[in-house]
Amino acid sequence: MMAARLLRQAKWASWDSLLIALALAQGGLLLTWPSIPLIAVGMWWNANSVSHNFIHRPFFGARALNTIFSCYLSLLLGFPQSFWRARHLAHHFARERTRDRLDLKLLPLDITAVIALWGTLIVLAPLFALTVYLPGFLIGGALCYLQGHYEHASGTVSHYGRLYNFLFFNDGYHIEHHSRPGMHWRELPCQRAEKGSASRWPAVLRWMECVKLCAMERLVLRLPALLRFVLRRHQRALRRLLTGMPAATTVGIVGGGLFPRTAIILRELLPEAKLVLIDLSAGNLAIANRFIGANAEYINERFEPDSPCDFDLLTIPLAFSSDRRAIYKRPPAQAVLVHDWIWRRRGSSVVVSWLLLKRLNLVKR
C-alpha cells in the first residue's frame, strides 16, 4: 500500500508542484498588493483548486511537510485548513455532523496560525483589517458558499467549460470527482460521466440560470445610465468586427425586439443597409418599432438555424434558445455576428464587457 501510494505521488509530482508554486505566488501577491478583490477572489480560487486538491491528495510524502503546507494554506485562506478538510470529507462520505467538529484540545497548528494572523492584523493594522481584509474575507466566503451550494443545488452537477477547468484544475468535473474523490485532477476528463447533469455555467455563476435575460433587458431600458453604457460597449465591439468587411446591404437581426440595441447601432454604422428584425414576440417588435420606426422591416416569426437566409449579415442574440452550435458549425448567412458569454470564443471575437460577461463572435461561411 505504501509503495503504491509513493508511485502515485511520483506520477503526479510535477503537477502538484505547479499547485504549490501557484499557492506561493498567491502569497507573494497578497503581501505586495493586499486588496479586497485579491483577497476575495484568491480565497475562492484557492479553496476550490489548490486547497481542495490538497485535501484529497496531500502533496508531500512527509507528514511534517504536509502539516507546514496546511498551515500556509490556512494563512492564505484566513480559516483553518483542518476545519475545511473535516467539513469537506464529511460532505463526501456522508458522516454524522458531529464528526465535523474539531477537538480544540488538540489545537492543530493551522488553527494556531489563523488565530495569530487575525490577532496580528487587529492589533498592528486595525484599519486595514476592518476596511480591506475583513470585506475581502467575507466576499470570498460568499463566493465559496455560492460555489458549494450550486454544485449540488439540483443534485451533483458538472461544468465542462474549458476556461473554468483550466483555471480551476478540472474542478468543473464534479460528478466525476464525487465518483472517485481520490482521483488526481488530471485524470478527471478521461472519466467524463455519460449520464448526469451538466450546466453551461460554472457553479459560482449558476444562479444566473434563474435570471431571465428578458427581465435584464427591461431593466436596461428603465435605467438611462445603464442603457448608455450597454450601447457604448456594444457599439465599440460591433465597429471593431465590421472594420474591413464589405458593407452589408441587408442585415437580419434575430430577436431584436425587446431591446433593439443591435439595430440602433447598425443603423448608425451601416446607414445604407436594410435592417430586418425577426422576433417571435409581436409585443417585442412593437417596442423595437418605437426605437427604429419605419427604417426597418419587422418579421413576427421564430428563427431557426436552418431557416432560408439571404442576408449579407445576420446577428444572433445572447438569448437565442435554438441550437447555437449549429450557428457556429454552419453559419446561415455569409457573415454572422453571435452575442455569446465571455468564455465562448469563436471565429473573430471581441469582448463586449467583462462586467456584462459578454463577447461578440464573428463567423463566416
Biggest CA-to-CA distance, the chain: 79
Q: pLDDT (tens digit, 9 = 90+) per residue, 305-314?
A: 777 788 889 9
What's the distance, Cα to Cα, between the start and end of the chain in Å? 57
Cell of 87: 467539513
> Any bridge partners for residue 338, and if so which?
316, 361
Indicate the SS3 state at residue 353.
Answer: strand
CA gap 275, 264 in Å, rounded: 10
Q: Which of 45, 71, 47, 56 is nearest to 16 (CA)?
A: 56
47 Cβ partners below 8 Å, 6+ apart? 77, 84, 140, 144, 147
CA gap 109, 115 in Å, rounded: 10
Give CA angle at 305 (326, 283), nearest 5°. Answer: 135
- pTM listed for this prediction: 0.62
* Residue 272's pLDDT band (cuts 50, 70, 90): confident
Q: pLDDT (tens digit, 9 = 90+) per residue, 157-209?
A: 888 888 899 999 999 999 899 888 888 999 988 888 777 778 878 888 877 66
CA gap 16, 14 in Å, rounded: 5
CB distance 223 to 342 below 8 Å: no
Residue 66 has pLDDT above 80, yes or no: yes
Predicted local confidence at residue 248, as pLDDT: 86
CA gap 189, 55 in Å, rounded: 20
Residue 365, exposed/middle/buried by CB under 10 A (0-12, 13-18, 19+)? exposed
* Residue 43's pLDDT band (cuts 50, 70, 90): very high
Q: Greater confidence, 96 or 183?
A: 183
Q: Greater confidence, 93 or 7?
A: 93
Question: So what's the architecture of 214-364 in CATH?
Answer: 3-Layer(aba) Sandwich (3.40)
CB distance 43 to 78 below 8 Å: yes
Cell of 327: 450557428
Predicted local confidence at residue 98, as pLDDT: 38
Mean pLDDT in the chain?
83
Q: Kindly report the number of other CB atoms within 10 A of residue 207's CB atom.
A: 13
Per-domain residue ranges for the chain?
A: 2-209, 214-364
Q: pLDDT (tens digit, 9 = 90+) per residue, 319-345?
A: 776 777 888 888 888 899 998 888 888
Range among 133-147, 255-269, 319-333 rated most confident: 133-147
Q: What is the mean pLDDT of residues 40-46?
A: 95
Spell out the alpha helix ranges (H) of 57-202. 63-77, 81-93, 109-124, 126-128, 134-152, 162-167, 174-179
Q: Greater confidence, 193 or 103?
A: 193
Which run of H or E residues covers position 289?
helix 282-292
Residue 121, exposed/middle/buried by CB under 10 A (0-12, 13-18, 19+)? middle
Which run of H or E residues covers position 169?
none
What percent of the chain is modeled with pLDDT above 90? 30
Question: What secondary structure letter does DSSP report for 189?
Answer: G
